[in-house]
Structure 1
Amino acid sequence: MGTPTADAAAPETSRTRPAVPRGYPWLVFALSFGLLLSDYMSRQVLNAVFPMLKAEWLLSDAQLGSLSGIVALMVGLLTFPLSLVADRWGRVRSLVAAAVVWSLATLGCAISASYGEMFLGRFMVGVGEAAYGSVGIAVVLSVFPVRLRATLSGAFIAGGSFGSVLGVAVGGAIAQAHGWRWAFGAMGFLGLALAAVYAVLITERRLAAAARVHAPGTGPSERAALRTLLPRLFSSVSVACAYVGSGLQMFIAMALLAWTPSFFHRYYGLETADAGIAAGALAMLGGTGMILGGIVADRLSRNAAVRKWTVAVTCSLASFVLLMTGFHLPTGPAQVVLIALGSLVASGTAGPAAAMVANLTPPAVAATAMATLTLANSLLGLAPGPAVTGMLADRTGLLGALQVIPWVAVLSGAAFALGKATYPRDLRRLGLLPDTALVPPEPRT
C-alpha cells in the first residue's frame, strides 16, 4: 500500500495548487456536474410523459411504474461493481462510456414502438447511469483541496435534485409542444454532446496530474494493492457512521420528495399540477441545502476537520425539530415555512458525510467508496423512505405518517455523533491525519 496521502496528512488549510491551469479543476467540476444533470434529466423525463404513454399504448399504472423502477433497480445493483471497474480501468473513460450508454439508450426510448422496447431502453439507461454519480464525485474531489470536499460533495449531489426537476419540467414542455418522442430525443442528444465535450477536454493524463497534488499516493504501486485497499471501505467505526447517518437522513429527504405532492393535494386542496410545483420547490430547497451544508462545513472545519461531523449532527437534529413542529401545526403559512426550512436542513448532511467518507478511505478506491455511500443511501433512504411512509399512512393517515418520519433524524444524528467521537481515534489508527488537524487551535492569550 502507498504512504498516507499528503492532503489527508495536512491540515485543511493547505495552500497546495495543482500543476495544471488554475481553472482546470473548475472545468472538471462544471462538465461533471453538467453530465450529472443530463443523467437525472434522462432518468426523470419519463415521469413527465406518463399520461401520453398511458393513452397511446394503453399501459397500466404497474407497467408505467416498472419503466421507472427498472432504472433504479439497475443503478442499485450495478453501482458498486461498475465503480470498482472505473477505479481500475480509468475514471474518465468510464464516465464518458456511461454517458454514451445512457444517452443512446434514451434515444432508443424515443423510437420505441411498444412497452417491451421502451422497457429495454430504460434498462440500458439504468446500466449507463449506475456508476456515474459515485465515479463523478470521485473525479471532482480528486482535483480539489481537501478543505473544499464538503462543499463540492454537497454541490455535486445536489445536481440530482436539480436534474430531476429539470427533467420533468423541460421534458414536459417539449412533450407538450412536440410530442413525447422529442422529449426523450432532446435528453439523449444533450447527453451525447456533453460526453463528446468531456472526452475532448478532460483526459486521464491531465486529471492524474491534478490529482497527484492532492492525493500523491494514488500511483501505480497503490493501485496494484487494490485487494488490500478494499477492506478500508469498512475499516473504521467513523466511516460506518458516515454511511449510516447519510442513509438515514436520506430516508427523510426521499419520504418528503415522494409524499409532499399528496400532502399539499389532500390537506391544502391543491390541484395535481400545483401540488407538483410545490413539491418541486421543496426539492430545489433540498438541493440548495446540500450546497449550503457543504459550504458551512468546510468553512467551520478549516482548522478542525472534526467540525464537519458537528454540522451533520446539527442538520439532523434541526430537521427533526423543524419537521416535527411543522407537521403538528395546523395548515397555513407557518406550517409551510417550517416544512420548507426542515427540507432545507434535512439535506445539509450530504456534503459533510461524503467528505468524511473521502477522508477515511484510500484515494485509489475513491469511486468505490462513493459507490458504497450511494448504496447506503439507497438501502437506508431512497428505497425504504417512500415505502415506509406509505405503509404508515395506510394505518395513521398521511399526516400521521409525516409526523412520525422526522424521528429518523434522531437516529441519523446519533450515528453522526458516534462518528464524531470515534473520528480522531480512527484517523490516528489509519495514519491519515496528525493530531493538530483534529481539534481547533488554542486561543492566544
Structure 2
Amino acid sequence: MGLHTAGTAVPGTSPATPAAVSRRYAWLVFGLSFGLLLSDYMSRQVLNAVFPLLKAEWLLSDTQLGSLSGIVALMVGVLTVPLSLLADRWGRVRSLVIAAMVWSLATLGCAMAASYGQMFLGRFMVGVGEAAYGSVGIAVVLSVFPISLRATLSGAFIAGGAFGSVLGVSIGGAVAQHLGWRWAFGVMGIFGMALAVIYGIVVTEKRLGTVSGGGRGASGVRPDGCPSDERAAIRTLLPRLFSSVSVVCAYIGSGLQMFIAMALLGWMPSFLNRYYDMPPGKAGLVAGVFALITGIGMIGGGMVADRLSRRDGARKWTVAITCSLGSLALLTAGFQLPSGPLPLVLIGAGTLLSNATAGPATAMVANLTPAAIAATAMATLTLANSLLGLAPGPAVTGVLADRIGLLGALQMVPLVAIAAGAAFAIGKLNYEKDLRRLGLLPDVAPTTPELPS
C-alpha cells in the first residue's frame, strides 16, 4: 500500500506541510470523520421525529417545539467561525473529539430532560458541540488526500448531512415508537460517544503529520497552511467578504432558500402525523425520505450548475433562480391541495429544488472572494445560512403554526423563495461588473473545479 501526500485543507492558501499517510489510513480517517458527521446530524434531527410525543407529554406549543430545533442551528451559525479558528490553533483532531463528546453528552442530557427548560439547555449544548464540526472535519479529511479529490470529498460531506438527517429522523421515530422518546435521544448520544472514543484512538495529530498550536512548525507554517507573515495581508482582504453586491446577494439568497428547506425538514414529521394520520414511527420514516431528497437536490443542483456554466459563469445564477422559483411553484401547489398522493409528489419535487441552490451559491461566493480568504468566505456563507435559514426556518414556522395552523404555516413558507429568487436575480445583474471591478475575471475554466463548502 503506497503513500500519498496532500496539501492544505484550506483552498487558496499556501501548501502546508504535506502529510504522508497510507491510502488505507486516509480512507479510515474519511470513514470515521463521515461517521461523526452522521452522528452530528442524527443528534440534531432526532428531535423532529419526536415532536408529536413531546407536544403531547409536556403540552408544548409549536413555537416552543420550533425553538428546540432552531437553537441548535443558531449556535452553529454563531460559533462556527470562532471555534474553527480555535481548532486551527489548538489542534483539529483534539477539537473534533471534544466537540463530539459535547454534543453526544448533551444529547444524553436531552434524554433525561424533565421539562422544556432542561430540554432547551440540552439542545443549546448540542449546538455548541456541533458548531465547527463541518469546517474542521472536512479540513482533517482533505489534509490526507490528494488535492484532485477535494470536490469529491466535499460533495460527500454535503450529502452526509442529508444522510444523517434521514437516519436521525427515521431511526429516532422508530425507536421512539417502540421504546419512547427518551431512548431515541439516548441511542443517538451513545452512538456519538462511541465514535468519538474510536476517533480519538485511531486519528491523531502525529499520524496526520499536522502541527498544533498557534505558532510556526518546523516548516514555518501555521496549522491552517498559511505562513505566519500572511496574517496582516489576510486581514486586509477580509472586507472583500462583503465588497460586492453580487456576493451579498449570494449570501442572502442561499440563506433564504435554506429557510425553506429547514422548515420542511423540521416540520415534515408533524405534518404527516397531523394531516396524513401517520403514527410517529411511519411519519419519521417518510420524512426521512424527504430529507434524502433534499440532499440529492443539493448534489444535483451543484452538478447541473457546473455543467451549464462551463462557458458562462453567470449561468450558475440562472440555475439558482430557476430552483428558487421552481420550489415556490411546486411547494405552493402541494400544500394547497387536499391530502393525497399527488400533493406529496409535488411537495417532494419542491423539496428537491428547495436547497438545490446551495451548490451554485457556494461557487458564486468562491468566485467573488479572494482565494486567500476562501475558508473565511465559506464560514461567512455558513453563518448566513444559519442566521437566515437553519435557525429561523423551524422556529418561525412554529410561531405561524400556533396562529394559523401547521398547514397554513407551511403554505406561507414557500413565499420566502420570492425574496431568494430576487436576491439571485440582482446578483446575476451585478455579477460580471463585480468580477471586473474586483479583478477576478475570467471566473471560469473548464478544468478548474470549484470547492463546495
Same topology, TM > 0.5:
yes
Partner of 1:38: 39
Residue matched to 1:11: none
Tell me, yes or no, if the aligned pair for 1:36 and 1:159 is still in contact at 8 Å.
yes
The residue type paired with residue 75 of structure 1 is V
Provide the residue aligned with 1:270 in structure 2: 278
Distance 1:34 1:433, change over 3 A: farther
Kindly indicate whether the alpha-carbon contact (under 8 Å) linking 1:257 and 1:282 is maintained by their aligned counterparts in 2.
yes
Q: Where does structure 2 lack aligned partners over 5 or more consecutive residues?
A: 1-10, 13-18, 212-223, 447-453
Distance in 2 between the 1:293 and 1:128 partners? 29
| Distance in 1 (alpha carbons) for counterparts of 2:391 and 2:319 | 25
Q: After TM superposition, list the pairs within 5 Å mapping 1:104-119 onto structure 2.
A: none
Q: Which residue of the partner structure matches residue 204 of structure 1?
A: 210
Say which SS state the counterpart of residue 280 (structure 1) adopts.
helix
Deviations 1:252-288 (A, max 9, x none): 1122123333333333333333333222221111111
Q: Bigger shift: 114-123 or 189-198?
A: 114-123
Deviates more, 1:83-92 or 1:153-162: 83-92
**2:301 is the alignment partner of 1:293:** yes
1:245 paired residue number: 253
Q: Which residue of 2 aligns with 1:389?
A: 397
TM-score (norm 1): 0.75
1:315 counterpart (293, 318, 323): 323
User: Does residue 130 of the first structure (1) align with residue 131 of the second (2)?
Assistant: yes
User: 1:106, CA displacement in angstroms?
Assistant: 5.3
Q: CA deviation at 1:88?
A: 5.2
Contact 1:42 1:167 in 2 (8 A): yes
Are the aligned partners of 1:92 and 1:204 in contact in 2 as well (CA < 8 Å)? Answer: no
Structure 2 equivalent of residue 156 of structure 1: 157
Structure 1, residues 348-401: CA drift from partner, whole Å, max 9, x if none? 111222222233334454443333222212221123223333444445443333
Q: Report the equivalent of 2:435.
A: 427
Cα distance in 1 for residues equivalent to 2:441 and 2:92: 26
1:134-179 per-residue CA deviation (whole Å, 9 max, x = no partner) reads: 3445666787779975x76554333223212323444566785798
Q: Distance in 1 between matches of 2:92 and 2:292?
A: 29
Distance of 2:399 and 2:124 partners within structure 1: 28
Q: CA RMSD in A?
A: 4.4
Q: What does 1:369-380 correspond to in 2, within 5 Å?
A: 369-380=377-388
Q: Distance in 1 between matches of 2:113 and 2:414?
A: 44
One-letter amino acid of the structure 2 residue matched with residue 320 of structure 1: L
- The answer (yes or no) to whether the contact 2:21–2:208 under 8 Å persists in 1 is no
Q: How far apart, CA to CA, are the structure 2 residues paired with 1:301 and 1:25?
A: 32
Compute the displacement of 1:412 (Å): 0.9
Shift of 1:408: 1.4
Which residue does the alignment assign to 1:189?
194
The 1-side partners of 2:107 and 2:406 are apart by: 35
State the distance in 2 between where 1:349 and 1:298 align.
12
| CA distance in 1 between partners of 2:319 and 2:25 (Å) | 29
Q: Given that residues 103 and 192 in structure 1 are in contact (C-alpha distance below 8 angstroms), is that contact kept between their aligned partners in structure 2?
A: no
Which residue pairs with 1:236 in the alignment? Answer: 244
SS at match of 1:228: helix
User: Identity percentage over the alignment?
Assistant: 69
Give the conservation status (yes or no) of the 8 Å contact 1:290–1:350. Answer: yes
- Structure 2 residue 421 is the aligned partner of structure 1 residue 413: yes
SS at match of 2:204: helix
Report the Cα distance in structure 2 between the residues aligned to 1:39 and 1:436, rounded to whole angstroms: 34
In the alignment, the residues of structure 1 paired with residue 437 and residue 323 of structure 2 have an alpha-carbon distance, to the nearest angstrom, of 28
Distance in structure 1 (CA, Å) of the matches to 2:52 and 2:407: 28
Which range moved further: 28-37 or 247-256?
28-37
CA distance in 2, matches of 1:36, 1:45: 14
Gaps of 5+ in 1: 1-6, 9-17, 206-215, 439-445
Instruction: Output the amino acid matched with 1:204.
Output: T
